[in-house]
Structure formats: structure tokens, C-alpha cells
């Protein structure tokens, strides 16, 4: 009896600890995963509609719905694929949005019944098992459609498709893992309730467990007589009897405790890695703030170029400009030789730029940077659909881009200030803007270093055997 009490106390403690972990960490993370899933599905569906591989669904769900309505997952004729999958994909996207925005992501709200509905919704399209041999009609058809999209897409669209499907697969896997573990927690919570409400004078033998019908009827009658009605689940009550009174009870109890402990450790490991994702996003947003400062630099450079151009305008150049316009001749581009200082070797090197091309390229980069800091941009949706590795690659790329423009803009600033002493008073400097950009790059670098340090620490712990797959 003492052994049974100790087990119940330890089980109750583990369940309470696990429940708190779900409420504070795992379920908020699952909500974020569902939000990310919805964003990627939206992008994928938009591409499929543009390519004419699926058709839009005019049906709208009732905005007053309070529970999930799982889309149909039955077979259909190949000729109906575009229409049927278009409709079911639209319904699936609507349900994911409803789930993300209307459900409460805590243990009390996500009951076993709601978990079952979420699992069924996830099976509408099994992103982690997307193949043409799937036994589920929607998944099989979606695999065929994505294959068609890949065959008619350019390399960029094809790459985005692969990235989207890869991210959907990871999200699908993580969400279903959390749901399975939450279902297990509810299962153990119910079994703990059963233990607390078993008749105090109950006598259970191995013979009762081998032929439990009579014993289960007695327990069911006892539960029905209580003021607070307790649902009776035959299978789970029998599990309690085996774990507490069976010949193999010690082994079964150890498995229960071990499962709760192992799941807790595994999720802490997973969340530690997943929680580093915001660090990468923050780094990109910091780089996004450089867009306005680069734009200020660009405005001043164009003004400086105009000052120099006007100063060197003669009667001949005016005549040539009029002639060029009259005959619609292409405008001559201007080359500038810059002296760029290598910050590592401290050596100067010459670089020739075509100022018109340089301005055009910088204008494009400014748009990219501004999109990083704009929450409503298409870039933000793409960032949501990217893996940590892809975000890191993007951060690395644009830190390099920033550093490259810092070098050339510094050299341009020196060039304009030294090109003509007489014009010096009219030239606008960009040192303040460059300093601000440089500080932003330093902060973005810190985010990158923080993420890399976390990955390295995780890898080292794994090699030392402190973490397990």
C-alpha cells in the first residue's frame, strides 16, 4: 500500500509539472506553429491558384462557428481534382486560422475531444507524409498537384515550393508530437482520478485482472454513485488495475513515470532550439532599419552627383545632350574610380563603379531592407515559412551586403568631398548615416553570434551524450 501511495504522489507531481510546462511553453509554441502553418498554406494555395492547378472555393464558413469542422477526406474523380482540392484546401486554411485565433492553448481547454478534432484536421493534408501512394485521398492528390506545380515552375518558384513543403512537414511533425503528448497527459490525469476514486476496500487479484468484467462493473457502479460524476473508460480503468495490482505492476509504473520524465526532457531540448528562431528574425528586422538610412545616403549621393554634373556642364556638353535627346540616343553612363580601404589588411584598393547602375542596385536593396521591418509585407510571410537554417543563410547574406555597401558608400563620401575643392561646400556628407548603419550591422552580428553559439552548445552536448535523439 505504501508503494502505491508513493507512486501516486510521484505521478501527481509529474503530471502537475508537465501540465505547467504545456501551459507555459509547449502549447503557446504549438499555437505559433499553427500560425506559421496557416501562413505557409496561404502562400502555397496562392501559388496553386495562380497556376490554375486548383480553383477558388466560393463557400464561406459561418463566422459564428465555435468548433472545428474537419474538411472531407473522401475519394473523387481525377477530373474533379482541381475543384475538390481547391475547396478542401480553402476549408482547411479557414479551419487553421479559426483554430489559431479562437482556441485557447491550455490544458483545460484542449480536452481529449478537441485534441481528437485537431488530429483529424491535421490529417486533411499530411504534410509530413506527402506522397502519391498515400491512402488518404487529399494527401495523395496534393502530392500530385505539387508535383505538377514543380514541373511548370521556374527555379525560384520551385525552390520556394520545396522550402514551403519542407517547413510544412516540420510544423506538421512538431504539432502532432505535441498533441500526442498532451493526449497522453490527459490519459494519465484520468487514470490518477480513477486511483483516487476507487473504493477504499477494493480487493484485486490477478484472476480479477485476467477476467475483469465483474470487477469493472463494480467500479463503474461506484463511480456512478458519486456526487461528481466520473466518466468510465473501460480500457483506461483496466490499465490502472494492471499498473497497481497486476503481476507486472512495478514495470508498468516505471514505464509511466519514465515516459513523463523523458517527454519533459526532450521538449525542453526541442524548445531551446526552437526558441532561438526569434533571435534570427530580430537580426533581420535590425537590418531592416538600415533601409531608411541607406535611402538618406542615396538621396545625398544623387544630389552630390548632380552638383558635380552641373559644375562640369559646358556649351559643348549641353549641345551633345540636346543631340542625344533629339535622336533618342542612350545616355552615357558615368564611371567613378573609388579608393576602398580593406578594414582587415588596412590596404587601399581601386574599384570602378558605374554610378547609374550602383544607384539602381542600391535602390533595390533598400526595398528589401524596408520589407524586413514591415510587418505587412510579403517578405514577412516568406520569413514565417522559412526554417532556422534558411533564416540564418538570409541573415548571413544581408550582413555581407550591408558591409559591402558600407565600404563603397564610405569611399563615395571621400570621393565627393575630394573631387573639387570649390564645390566642397555644396557636397553633402553621409558619415552620420553610415555610423548608424554600422551600429545596426553590429547588433545583427550579435544576433547571429548568439544563434550560432546556441547551435554549437547544442551540438557539443549531443556529442557528449547529454542529449538524445
DSSP string for 416-456:
HHHS-TTTGGGPPP-HHHHHHHHHHHHHHHHHHHHHHHHHH
Pick 298 or 258 by higher pLDDT. Answer: 298
> Could you tell me the CA-to-CA distances from 145 to 85, 156, 242, 315 in Å, in that order?
9, 18, 49, 65
CB 25 within 8 A of CB 264: no
For residue 77, the model assigns a pLDDT of 93
Three cell numbers at 73?
477526406
- Residue 12 pLDDT > 50, yes or no? yes
- Residue 303 pLDDT > 50, yes or no? yes
Range of the domain at 307: 278-463
Q: Which residues contact 450 (CB under 8 A, 6 or more apart)?
A: 276, 279
Provide the pLDDT confidence category of residue 468 given band limits of 50, 70 and 90: very low
Q: Which residues contact 417 (CB under 8 A, 6 or more apart)?
A: 424, 427, 429
Provide the pLDDT confidence category of residue 316 given band limits of 50, 70 and 90: low
Specify the 3-state DSSP secondary structure of 399.
Answer: helix
Same domain, 364 and 414: yes
For residue 260, the model assigns a pLDDT of 79
> How many domains does one find in the chain?
2
Provide the pLDDT confidence category of residue 412 given band limits of 50, 70 and 90: very high
Cα Dmax for the chain = 114
Same domain, 267 and 298: no
For residue 396, the model assigns a pLDDT of 93
Question: CB neighbours (10 Å) of residue 155?
Answer: 7
* Crossing angle between the packed helical segments 277-288 and 431-463, to the nearest 10 degrees: 170
For residue 310, the model assigns a pLDDT of 77
For residue 84, the model assigns a pLDDT of 93
Same domain, 440 and 459: yes
User: How big is the CA angle at 395 (ends 394 and 396), to the nearest 5 degrees?
Assistant: 90
Q: Which residues pair with 340 in a beta bridge?
A: 349
Q: Which residues contact 333 (CB under 8 A, 6 or more apart)?
A: 354, 355, 356, 357
Provide the pLDDT confidence category of residue 328 given band limits of 50, 70 and 90: low
- Residue 278 pLDDT > 80, yes or no? no
Same domain, 166 and 233: yes
Same domain, 73 and 178: yes
- Residue 365 pLDDT > 80, yes or no? yes
Place of cell 548603419: 437
Q: What is the mean pLDDT of residues 383-392?
A: 82
Tell me which of 239, 274, 309 is where a domain ends: 274
- Residue 421 pLDDT > 90, yes or no? no
> Could you tell me the CA-to-CA distances from 301 to 61, 249, 358, 409, 420 in Å, in that order?
54, 80, 11, 9, 15
Same domain, 270 and 311: no
Burial class (CB in 10 A: 0-12, 13-18, 19+), 247: exposed
- Residue 65 pLDDT > 80, yes or no? no
Tell me which of 217, 245, 274 is where a domain ends: 274
Q: Taking Cα atoms as reference points, which of 110, 112, 88 lies closest to residue 99?
A: 110
469 within a domain of the structure (yes/no)? no
Tell me which of 219, 249, 274 is where a domain ends: 274
Pick 131 or 324 by higher pLDDT. Answer: 131
- Residue 333 pLDDT > 50, yes or no? yes
468 within a domain of the structure (yes/no)? no
Same domain, 37 and 98: yes
For residue 279, the model assigns a pLDDT of 82
Same domain, 238 and 346: no
Average pLDDT taken over every residue of the chain: 83
Specify the 3-state DSSP secondary structure of 122.
Answer: helix
Alpha-helix runs per DSSP H in 336-430:
355-372, 378-384, 388-418
Same domain, 434 and 300: yes
Specify the 3-state DSSP secondary structure of 229.
Answer: coil
Same domain, 215 and 330: no
Same domain, 313 and 435: yes
Same domain, 15 and 157: yes
Sign of the CA dihedral 52, 58, 63, 64?
A: negative
- Residue 160 pLDDT > 90, yes or no? no
Q: Taking Cα atoms as reference points, which of 173, 184, 318, 168 lies closest to residue 255?
A: 184
In this structure, of 71-75, 198-202, 381-385, the range with the lowest mean pLDDT score is 381-385
- pTM given for the model: 0.59
Q: What are phi and psi of 350, to 5 degrees?
A: -90, 140
The predicted-structure confidence for 227-268, as pLDDT tens digits, reads as follows 788 888 989 989 888 888 888 888 888 888 887 776 555 555
Determine what percent of the chain is predicted with pLDDT higher than 90. 37
Amino acid at each position: 500500500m505504501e508503494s502505491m501511495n508513493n507512486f501516486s504522489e510521484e505521478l501527481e507531481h509529474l503530471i502537475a509539472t508537465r501540465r505547467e510546462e504545456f501551459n507555459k511553453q509547449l502549447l503557446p509554441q504549438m499555437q505559433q506553429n499553427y500560425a506559421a502553418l496557416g501562413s505557409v498554406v496561404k502562400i502555397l494555395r496562392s501559388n496553386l491558384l495562380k497556376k490554375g492547378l486548383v480553383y477558388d472555393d466560393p463557400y464561406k464558413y459561418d463566422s459564428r462557428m465555435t468548433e472545428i469542422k474537419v474538411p472531407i477526406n473522401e475519394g473523387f474523380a481525377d477530373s474533379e481534382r482541381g475543384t475538390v482540392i481547391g475547396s478542401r484546401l480553402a476549408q482547411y486554411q479557414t479551419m487553421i486560422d479559426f483554430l489559431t485565433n479562437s482556441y485557447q492553448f491550455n490544458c483545460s481547454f484542449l480536452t481529449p475531444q478537441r485534441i481528437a478534432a485537431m488530429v483529424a484536421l491535421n490529417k486533411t493534408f499530411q504534410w509530413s507524409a506527402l506522397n502519391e501512394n498515400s491512402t488518404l485521398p487529399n494527401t495523395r492528390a496534393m502530392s500530385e498537384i505539387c508535383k505538377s506545380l514543380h514541373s511548370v515552375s521556374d527555379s525560384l518558384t520551385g525552390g520556394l515550393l520545396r522550402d514551403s513543403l519542407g517547413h510544412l512537414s516540420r510544423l506538421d511533425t512538431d504539432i502532432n508530437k505535441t498533441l500526442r503528448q498532451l493526449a497522453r497527459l490527459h490519459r494519465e490525469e484520468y487514470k490518477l482520478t480513477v486511483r483516487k476514486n476507487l473504493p477504499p476496500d477494493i480487493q484485486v487479484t490477478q484472476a480479477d485482472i485476467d477476467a475483469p468484467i465483474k470487477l469493472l462493473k463494480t467500479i463503474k457502479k461506484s463511480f456512478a454513485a458519486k456526487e461528481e460524476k466520473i466518466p468510465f473508460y473501460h480500457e483506461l480503468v483496466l490499465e490502472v488495475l494492471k499498473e497497481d495490482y497486476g503481476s507486472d505492476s512495478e514495470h508498468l509504473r516505471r514505464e509511466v513515470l519514465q515516459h513523463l520524465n523523458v517527454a519533459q526532457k526532450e521538449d525542453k531540448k526541442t524548445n531551446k532550439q526552437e526558441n532561438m528562431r526569434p533571435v534570427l528574425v530580430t537580426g533581420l528586422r535590425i537590418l531592416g532599419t538600415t533601409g531608411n538610412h541607406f535611402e538618406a545616403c542615396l538621396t545625398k549621393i544623387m544630389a552630390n552627383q548632380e552638383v558635380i554634373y552641373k559644375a562640369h556642364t559646358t556649351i559643348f556638353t549641353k549641345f551633345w545632350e540636346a543631340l542625344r535627346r533629339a535622336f533618342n540616343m542612350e545616355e552615357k553612363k558615368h564611371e567613378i574610380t573609388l579608393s576602398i580601404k580593406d578594414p582587415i589588411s588596412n590596404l587601399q584598393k581601386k574599384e570602378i563603379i558605374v554610378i547609374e547602375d550602383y544607384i539602381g542596385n542600391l535602390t533595390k536593396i533598400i526595398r528589401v531592407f524596408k520589407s524586413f521591418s514591415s510587418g505587412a509585407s510579403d517578405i514577412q510571410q516568406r520569413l514565417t515559412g522559412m526554417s532556422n537554417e534558411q533564416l540564418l543563410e538570409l541573415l548571413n547574406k544581408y550582413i555581407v551586403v550591408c558591409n559591402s555597401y558600407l565600404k563603397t558608400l564610405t569611399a563615395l563620401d571621400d570621393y565627393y568631398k575630394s573631387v573639387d575643392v570649390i564645390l566642397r561646400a555644396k557636397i553633402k556628407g553621409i558619415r552620420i548615416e553610415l555610423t548608424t548603419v554600422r551600429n545596426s550591422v553590429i547588433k545583427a552580428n550579435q544576433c547571429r553570434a548568439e544563434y550560432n553559439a546556441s547551435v554549437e552548445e547544442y551540438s557539443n552536448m549531443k556529442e557528449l551524450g547529454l542529449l538524445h535523439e
